[in-house]
Amino acid sequence: MFKNIKKNKDKKFHDINRKRRGFKRIRGMKDILFDEYRYWDLVVNKAGNLAKTYSFKQISTPLLENLELYKRSSGKSSDIVNKEMYSFIDKNGEKLAIRPEATPGMARAYIEHGMFNLPQPIKMFWLGPLLRHEKPQSGRLRQHTQFDLEIFGEASPVADFMLILIAFNFFRELQINVHIQINSIGCRECRKEYISRLLEFYRERGKRSKLCPDCKKRIIKNPLRLLDCKEEKCIELRAEAPQIVDFLCDECRNHFIKVLEYLDELDIPYNLNSFLVRGLDYYTKTVFEILPAEDDSSRQSSLGGGGRFDELVENLGGRPTPACGFGIGLERVILKIKEKNIPLKRDEENYVFIAQLGDQSRRKAIGLFEELRRGGINVRQSFTKDSLKAQLEEANRLGAKFTLILGQKEMIDGTILIRDMESGIQEVIDYKKIKNEIEKKLNGITNH
RNA sequence: GUGGCUAUCGUUCAAUGGUAGGACAGCGGGUUGUGGUCCCGCUAACGAGAGUUCAAUUCUCUCUGGCCACCCCA
């Protein structure tokens, strides 16, 4: 009889629970749980520290921007803006978008805050989530995190090179082997010349009909992207196509050569890839992409990419300002680290756990905890628990080296127990001497 | 957006046209002042909807989610 009542109660309870569990993550979004953060700490610290040693300063921009910002910068013909953007109309009628990439926001900030009045160049780094409505798969989420470096107000090819150098160092120091794909797509002027030659080439008899449907559209919308197509027939066709490097104006050519010379000087492995054009409209001159060195070819394996965008700031209403930048996808970096089993540093902390029994000793233990903590000792506790058993379990889980036990008996005697968690040996210590004693023991460990 | 595979406790892996079992984790006990080993117990799951059937977790379909690939991108 009672059993039945209990069962019914339980059932109701579980129904409620099931409803609660019904909420699930939105597609393409991910929670980062405790253990995962070890990877994030590693990667984020590496990124920030590296950026700072090259004199980049961190900035942050809002998650929401005007929709128009992205249309004007990334380009209406790009997939990112065209079909992958999370955009909506705000309550006051404004058209907004959740940022699908970082650069436009930073360019906007550069203009809005009058950074052209500061000593140039402005070197900034940025770390944050981006949203794109794509179909999720390995190494691709709808929300992903990028580490971005941007240099505004610097035309020198050294700037392009420095970015690649930093990116390269980032990966090398994380023990990920990468190589660089690099190309130059020229400036407005030389690209105009090139595109007309490219179109001429594709208009020769019979060529257009061989192209894939996408490329037929590209001829009209964004001819440069013809070079980028992965369809076999299009790849065949483009082999004979004119190459943009042959059409660069003197300035663009010299700029590109300089970048390559610096790369050679520092032995950074790169491939010239005359078909690399990248999917955003704002690029000029140098474009590059970072791929894992062990070539698993076709997969969406790109770890980062970037280039120069000398016309972007002006297009957004600022002064003509040369600039360049790149972004690295941190989820993909972490995926690579896991794939290669690159060992993480374990925090080998010498924890001291404080356990207590009874209300009085709990109060005293809390005081002791604070005293030791301020004294620089790595203390842990579980003061919400009453039983010693539970507290020792917790100490064990944490990997504590020693547990201090303070109970009724010790309170009366003015003592405290030190338990060596490995051997299980316990000593009774005069409570007043506990701090010195535990320090001595910890030093004994670290000296080994 | 297109295609392939898939969906069972928190995790992982089973079985089954008559509503499910293990392992790990969790919790409780063996030990109300002693953890990590051991023993015992408990908790906990068939993604949603429709169809076939006396009966569906199992077969079929749809949806949704996941994984993977294409497009694209980081």
The DSSP code sequence of A301-322 is: ---EEEEE-TTHHHHTTS----
Reference A174, options A56, A345, A346; nearest CA is: A345
Closest residue by Cα to residue A382 from A368, A392, A371, A370: A392
Query: What is the distance in angstroms measured between the alpha-carbon CA of A86 and the sugar C1' of B64?
Result: 21
**Domain locations along chain A:** 36-187+249-339, 352-446
Amino acid at A256: F
Identify the pLDDT of residue A419.
95
**pTM for the predicted model, two decimal places:** 0.88
> Does A414 contact strand B, using a CB cutoff of 7 Å?
no
- ipTM > 0.90 for the complex: no
* Residue A8: per-residue pLDDT: 33
The per-residue pLDDT for A18 is 39
Residue A279, CB, less than 7 Å from strand B?
yes
What are the φ/ψ torsions at residue A294 (nearest 5 degrees)?
Answer: -75, 115
In angstroms, the CA of A9 and the C1' of B43 are apart by 15
Helix (H) or strand (E) run with residue A29 in it: none
What's the pLDDT at A404? 96
8 A C-beta contact, residue A403 and residue A363: no
- The answer for residues whose C-beta is within 8 angstroms of residue A45's C-beta and 6 or more apart is none
Among A432, A76, A114, CA closest to A221: A76
Q: What is the DSSP secondary structure assignment for residue A99, as one 8-state letter?
A: -
- The burial class, CB within 10 Å (0-12 / 13-18 / 19+), for A227 is buried
Neighbouring C-beta atoms of residue A277, cutoff 10 Å: 20
Shared fold status for A36-187+249-339 and A352-446: no
Q: Within 7 A of a protein CB, which nucleotides of strand B?
A: 1-3, 10, 26, 28, 31-36, 43-46, 64-74
Helix (H) or strand (E) holding A66: strand A64-66
Tell me how far CA of residue A107 lies from CA of A221, A316, A322, in angstroms: 25, 8, 11
Contact A175, A294 (CB under 8 A): no
The Cα–Cα gap between A263 and A327 comes to 19
What's domain A36-187+249-339's superfamily in CATH?
A: Bira Bifunctional Protein; Domain 2 (3.30.930.10)
Backbone angles phi, psi at A199, to 5 degrees: -65, -40
Decide the pairing of beta strands A270-272 and A178-184. Answer: parallel
CB A147 within 8 A of CB A327: yes
Q: Backbone phi, then psi, for A53, in 5-degree steps?
A: -70, -20
Sequential pLDDT tens for chain A (448 residues): 222 322 333 333 333 333 444 678 889 999 998 889 999 999 999 999 999 999 999 999 999 999 999 999 887 778 888 889 999 999 999 999 999 999 999 999 999 999 999 999 999 999 999 999 999 998 999 999 999 999 999 999 999 999 999 999 999 999 999 999 999 999 988 888 888 888 888 887 777 777 777 777 777 777 888 887 777 777 777 888 888 889 999 999 999 999 999 999 999 999 998 888 887 888 999 999 999 987 655 456 799 999 999 999 999 999 999 999 999 999 999 999 998 888 777 666 789 999 999 899 999 999 999 999 999 999 999 998 889 999 999 999 998 999 999 999 999 999 999 999 999 999 999 999 999 999 999 987 655 4
Distance (Å, whole) CA A329 – CA A303: 6
Q: With a 7 Å cutoff on the CB, does A278 touch strand B?
A: yes
* DSSP percent split of chain A into helix, strand, coil, nearest 5: 45, 20, 35
- Cβ(A326)–Cβ(A376) under 8 Å? no
Closest CA to A106 of A47, A145, A143, A57: A57
pLDDT score at A298: 47
How far apart CA A286 and CA A253 sit, in angstroms, is 10
Closest CA to A171 of A383, A297, A336: A336
Residue A39 assigned as binding residue: no
CA of A132 to C1' of B65 (A): 19
Q: Give the model's pLDDT for residue A9.
A: 32
A170: buried, middle or exposed (CB in 10 Å: 19+, 13-18, 0-12)?
Answer: buried
> Is A53 among the annotated ligand-binding positions?
no
Q: pLDDT at position A146, please?
A: 97
| Crossing angle (nearest 10°) for helices A157-173 and A36-53 | 150
- Strand B reaches within 7 A of the A223 CB: no
Amino acid at A70: Y
Closest nt by CA–C1' to A421 = B35
| Position A393, amino acid | E
Q: Is A172 annotated as a binding residue?
A: no
CATH architecture of A352-446: 3-Layer(aba) Sandwich (3.40)
Say whether the peptide bond before residue A121 is cis (omega within 30 degrees of 0): yes
**A429 Cβ partners below 8 Å, 6+ apart?**
A415, A416, A417, A418, A437
> Sign of torsion, CA A430 A434 A437 A438?
positive
pLDDT at A299: 57
Q: Give CA separation, A54 vs A110, A131, A305, A344, in Å.
A: 19, 28, 19, 25
Cβ of A409 less than 7 A from strand B:
yes
Task: Copy the structure tokens of residue A115.
Answer: 């950074």
